[in-house]
Amino acid sequence: MSDLGATLRLAGAAWSFVRADVLIPREVEHLVPAPARLAARTLRLLAGRQARQGRPGERLARVLQGQGPVAIKLGQLLSTRADIFGEAFAADLAHLKDRLPPFPVEVARAEVALALNRPVESVFASFEPPVAAASIAQAHPATLLDGRRAAVKVLRPGVERQVALDVRAMRQAARIAERLGPEARRLEPRAVAETVARTLQLELDLRMEAAGASELAEVAAIDGHMRIPKVIWDGVGKRVLTLEWAHGLALSDPAALAQEGLDRPALADAVIRGFLTQALDHGVFHGDLHEGNLFVAAPDVLTAVDFGIIGRIGPNERRYLAEILYGFLERDYRHVAQVHFDAGYVPARHSVEAFAQALRAVGEPIFGVDATGVSMGQVLGQLFEITSLFEMRLRPELILLQKTMVTAEGVARTIHPRHDIWKAADPVVRRWIVRELSPPARIKRLAEEGLDLFRALKRRVEEEPAVAVVEARETHGTPLMWFALGAAVAGLAFMIGAYLR
């Protein structure tokens, strides 16, 4: 698709939004400023018959479903935030998670046979019609030859081409957005588009998803907050993934939370703590924790499926995240502000104290208030204003982490409307702080940094081409190498001594 084709595709999508009256729906027109109301009324003159059919969420769901995988994933994210957009709006978008129109079981069987390069009967004793269908793939119940129940995920036919078209249009939209002004550029639209594009490309190879599921299963076994089904490697191919069956009901099923003996507070805690322990302790996390991907069983068993999106954050980002959360838990806004500056999230020309004051204005109103009394829409709006005031640029490497945090909180609130994310996060964050930022842990990290410095100097010395250096190394080692070793040890001793003082 050319740039012109991508632009036309965007124009077509915009026209669909106008025709369905979902940009500024008539139902919420009274909430927006006068200029926006005038624009909405003008655009509504172009609206079609579908603009009068159903609630805003129903109309938006129809439009997003027709726009392809990227648009559908946007709808899935919006559907997790009933606390921001309202229960009815979220419910209207909920079917985008796993209740899209499926493709025939005969087509799925053919796709499985082609991907595994053998007959379906050689792997499965039974292969049943789909029980869930999403934007990229659908899931089929099956029975393995040894009698175990399994779930078989099969990519939609032609989805690769659809995703490629969506990605091209998304990149064009990002280029257009960057021309809108400094505020749009601060949000790094092109970097966001590339992050989403990379994620979608990985989702189209189910062998990668199988590997991600296997890795997360090892992590989850350590922490115990979340269960991960076992991968059946005999049933894995580029377009097919087989996992052991997840017990319980998907949270997207209205009957899930009506199960007898369900401990809702414990399940809500498990969502938050499962995500945070994955991210903080292991640097890898499930990046698509919406209700369609989470199964619950009494009393508090939480099982995650669909591992097409795996997030990763490095050691520094993990430390920044933990210290920011810990600072909010302790209401130490000065520390939270300093971490933002240390991480480079806020330009150094700004005042740490002023930024701490702004964070206090957001944080204080939510402490001591019942969770149901906290408007996440208001909090997010205030945070966005602060990021603009202090010229914080969106961090592309943290996009998925931030999106997953928002989704996880939305899911936790769905399970238990009075859930307090800060209370749930507290033990996980404090455990990390004690383990990683205690004096012994810091000394260990300093020692590792000193050894890394020595190894780097040693590699550089060993690459010197001079014959004399080679001869000296063969006998007693190069003087420079011994100097490097002494410098590294002395530097390490100095750092430890400075810390202990």
Segment 143-186, tens digit of pLDDT: 999 999 999 999 999 999 988 888 888 888 888 878 877 766 76
Identify whether 28 is part of a domain: yes
- Lowest model confidence (mean pLDDT) among 40-49, 241-250, 294-303, 308-317: 40-49
Query: Could you count the other beta carbons within 10 Å of the beta carbon of residue 137?
Result: 26
What's the pLDDT tens digit per position in 190-238?
877 787 788 788 889 999 999 999 999 999 999 889 999 999 999 999 9
Assign 496 a pLDDT band (cuts: 50, 70, 90).
very low
Q: Helix (H, G, I), strand (E, B), or coil: what is residue 154?
A: strand
What's the pLDDT tens digit per position in 376-399?
556 656 776 777 788 887 676 677
Phi and psi at residue 415, in whole multiples of 5°? -70, -45
Identify whether 381 is part of a domain: no
pLDDT of 498 strictly over 60? no
* CA distance linking residue 17 with residue 63, whole number of Å: 7
Last residue of a domain, one of 72, 96, 120: 96
Identify whether 262 is part of a domain: no
DSSP 282: I
Identify whether 115 is part of a domain: no
Torsion from C-alpha of 26, 28, 34, 40, nearest 10 degrees: -30
Is the full-model pTM beyond 0.85?
no
Residues involved in catalysis: 288
Contacts of 43 (CB under 8 A, 6+ apart): 18, 21, 23, 24
3-state secondary structure 244-281: ECCCCEECCCCCHHHCCCCCHHHHHHHHHHHHHHHHHH
Report the number of distinct structural domains present in the chain: 3
Identify whether 342 is part of a domain: no
- Which residues lie across from 243 on neighbouring strands? 151, 231
Last residue of a domain, one of 202, 230, 261: 202
Identify whether 374 is part of a domain: no
Q: Do residues 423 and 275 lie in contact, with contact meaning Cβ atoms separated by under 8 Å?
A: no
Helix axes 439-462, 479-500, angle to 10 degrees: 170
pLDDT of 20 strictly over 70? yes
* CA distance linking residue 451 with residue 228, whole number of Å: 37
Q: Helix (H, G, I), strand (E, B), or coil: what is residue 143?
A: strand
Last residue of a domain, one of 202, 232, 258: 202
Q: Do residues 114 and 235 lie in contact, with contact meaning Cβ atoms separated by under 8 Å?
A: no
Residue range(s) defining the domain that contains residue 30: 3-96
Identify whether 493 is part of a domain: yes
pLDDT of 307 strictly over 50? yes
Is 164 found in the same domain as 81? no
Is 164 found in the same domain as 91? no
Is 87 found in the same domain as 9? yes
Q: What is the mean pLDDT of residues 57-66?
A: 87
CA atoms within 13 A on the CB side of 80: 24
